[in-house]
Chain A
């Protein structure tokens, strides 16, 4: 695979604050790469370094094989964070405006249709809802059919249905070979879309891997949560198991689905009454919280 985006020991500081502190990563052609991390972790600054909209203080960046300033801008798409385009243009005019800046662009109406705004072609951008505005901005980022697309929190303020519509658009782009670099706070989004995920904390990459790898390494084990009729501070004595009491209830860790019956039998044998059982696998959010829940405690891999 050819790397499309390469960062090598990138550093960027604002005053005494290091926004990006020695980040190295590589994104291959056709890959969907998600960058997650707490607010202020340096995600947007890193996107700006990668797209050439800011100059790193140290390290190097390659975009499509060149320095970002020299990269072929016909092949790059960007949706900035907090992007506010002209509000006195209709959605169709807005996307048409950005289409007019490229040699070869898609039909604005078709792109609006892709993001579910085909009925809003003639609606002023300022009259769209917050979620619709964000979808129009996504359309503006897609209009040149970019080979590499940077999306800085693309689904912020988008309702669940709109979010899923955008996810389908991103999935289709990825299937057609578009490289996508995505930042998000939505772990479900990262888990669904990304081939690989990097967690940024305090300007440094704390972990990188496929969602499955991160979950396996940092997400903990499958859990069976038992809700008792009354709150308790001490875990019941269940022979053969070592449950813990949490805010969720009594938690039995590392229980596979086929082991649920065994736990239930042990609870019956121990004379423990319960009201409900719930079982779930660890998710990327569990991994994220384990890594970034306490940013101060993140063990950084330089």
Chain B
């Protein structure tokens, strides 16, 4: 049986398990839509006043997509790895032909598919609010690559966190500051000058800049996409090595 067949078996089980967890489905598909309803539909701010949510809705497209691209892989892969550790599932899998790279590839594929579907729902919801932005083909690079990167980070979190609760707490503890400090919901000029270089350390900042350039403001997408793809490769490799396949 080929490597692809093993990945398919693992991915099929993962996909089925996800669809049968209502909480996971809610937080992947509907929670981000709630954010759009609240901040793009209900909140009224004056453009140009210099505060939060004062840019046109299209400016925040990367921010809404980031809620899915960041939180879903971090929390899902993190808690899945922790659950596998607690249930001795890696012990079982390590005696099968499946490798840990194949395992992470299967879980990453499922997450990318779910995130792509959730992003499609978000984009439709944003269009429904009257936002005006371009549906750039670059989204087909930036969304999957960023998802892969955070799947790798999620695998690292799940490998070292203290159980499922610890993995979820750690992933939220990392995701919340990253979400708000990566040029997503908060414009860079709202940060103090000394802090702005710190934003460059966030992988999500390159995603936000790339998506914003591709869908709204124009500018250099290629460089940001290249950084995200490179980070995805590195994070996947590190995540693979971190998985506690054997004790």
Q: Which residues of A are interface residues toward B (Cβ below 8 A)?
A: 48, 51-55, 73-74, 76-86, 88-89, 93-94, 97-104, 140-141, 144, 150
When each residue 1-29 of chain B gets 1 if its CB lies under 8 Å from chain A and 0 otherwise, what string results? Answer: 10001101110110011001100000000
A-B contacts, 8 listed (Cβ < 8 Å): A52-B95, A53-B247, A83-B89, A83-B92, A84-B88, A100-B12, A101-B6, A103-B97
Q: Which residues of B are interface residues toward A (Cβ below 8 A)?
A: 1, 5-6, 8-10, 12-13, 16-17, 20-21, 86-89, 91-98, 246-247
CB-CB < 8 A to A141: which residues of B? 92
Q: Are the CB atoms of B246 and A52 closer together than 8 Å?
A: yes
What is the CA–CA distance of A6 and B159 in the complex, to the nearest angstrom? 31
CB-CB < 8 A to A99: which residues of B? 9
CB-CB < 8 A to B10: which residues of A? 97, 100-101
Q: Which of A51, A81, A97, A104 contacts B95 (CB 8 A)?
A: A51
CB-CB < 8 A to A86: which residues of B? 13, 17, 89
Q: Which of B8, B13, B88, B96 contacts A73 (CB 8 A)?
A: B96
- CB proximity of A140 to chain B, nearest CB, Å: 8
Output the nearest chain B residue to A98 by Cβ-Cβ distance: B96
Interface of A is mostly: loop
Q: Which of B13, B88, B94 contacts A97 (CB 8 A)?
A: B13
Known: A97-B13, A101-B96. A53 touches B91 (CB 8 A): yes
Q: Are the CB atoms of B247 and A48 closer together than 8 Å?
A: yes
Output the nearest chain A residue to B2 by Cβ-Cβ distance: A103
Q: Are the CB atoms of B91 and A80 closer together than 8 Å?
A: yes
Q: Are the CB atoms of A101 and B9 closer together than 8 Å?
A: yes
Q: Are the CB atoms of A88 and B20 closer together than 8 Å?
A: yes
Listed from nearest, the 8 A-B pairs whose CB atoms lie closest are A100-B9, A84-B87, A54-B247, A88-B20, A97-B13, A80-B88, A103-B1, A78-B95
What is the CA–CA distance of A52 and B20 in the complex, to the nearest angstrom? 33
CB-CB < 8 A to A97: which residues of B? 9-10, 12-13
